[in-house]
Amino acid sequence: MMEWTSDEIMTVAAARRLADGETCLVGIGLPSTAANLARRTHAPGLVLVYESGTIGAKPAILPLSIGDGELAATADALVSVPETFNYWLQAGRLDVGFLGAAQIDRHGNINSTVIGSYAQPDVRLPGAGGAPEIASSCGRVIVVVRQSTRTFVDQVAFRTSLGHRVATVITDLGEFERHPGGELVLHRVHPGVTADRVRAATGWELTIADDLAETPHPTAGELGVLRHLEATKGRAAQP
């Protein structure tokens, strides 16, 4: 059996949540890696949209930013940023929003603005970007984030994006689903991870599903494609 890292199983688990034929607005970083993995494995018809205006991007390498030329070079269409948001996103044409987070609370609210007070923050984060619109306008939202009590907090320091459309959160420890009451509930733990370990990395009193399951192991094929993708990071596209 192949070995894998916690980041690898998190990325594989996130990729599996994307279906063939869906339209996905992708954030840079772990969400982009997972979305590109999905397109190369079980969802070849997945349409990747980046907020810079690249519709149907098919990057051969992992982009470093939404302005990476690889996205424009491989897209089906290039549109303006206002058109991306006004026509595609806010009009409800995108099935899935795929986001990261610096902090997330039990209701899926996301902070990507500051840690500490807004006026005098301990840490100034990159900011909202398009995340608030993505979180409020996509059909559903998937968040990918490494889990600790610093990221899974009882109350976010700043509510950058509302969590009412966050359906799933994938971490390096397990998989969470939103329940009808609005709270994120642990439904799966990754192999080798216990519910107690997930509870210790959560900043609120965690609810665990009665039918708690284990994430299926990554396949050799998934890991092979993922590692090839990771090896392309930062590499210039070949003409």
pLDDT in tens, 151-170: 999 999 999 999 999 999 99
CATH number of the domain to which 15 belongs: 3.40.1080.10
Question: What pairs with residue 178 in β-bridges?
Answer: 184
Residue 239 belongs to some domain of the structure: no
Residue 51 belongs to some domain of the structure: yes
Residue 24 belongs to some domain of the structure: yes
- 186: which DSSP letter? E
Residue 159 belongs to some domain of the structure: yes
Among the ranges given (13-17, 61-65, 142-146, 220-224), the one the predictor scored with the smallest mean pLDDT: 61-65
For the question of whether the overall pTM of this predicted structure is more than 0.85, the answer is yes
Residue 131 belongs to some domain of the structure: yes
Question: What pairs with residue 49 in β-bridges?
Answer: 25, 55
Q: Which domain holds residue 38?
A: 6-231
How many domains would you assign to the chain? Answer: 1
Catalytic residue among 3, 8, 22, 51: 51
Under a CB-based contact definition with an 8 Å cutoff, are residues 24 and 98 in contact? yes
Residue 237 belongs to some domain of the structure: no
Contacts of 194 (CB under 8 A, 6+ apart): none
Under a CB-based contact definition with an 8 Å cutoff, are residues 12 and 226 in contact? yes
The two beta strands, 77-78 and 114-116, are: unpaired
pLDDT in tens, 35-70: 999 999 999 999 999 999 999 999 999 998 888 999
133 is catalytic: no
pLDDT of 98 higher than 60: yes
Name the strand (E) or helix (H) holding 142: strand 140-144
- Tell me the C-alpha distance between 186 and 175, whole Å: 6
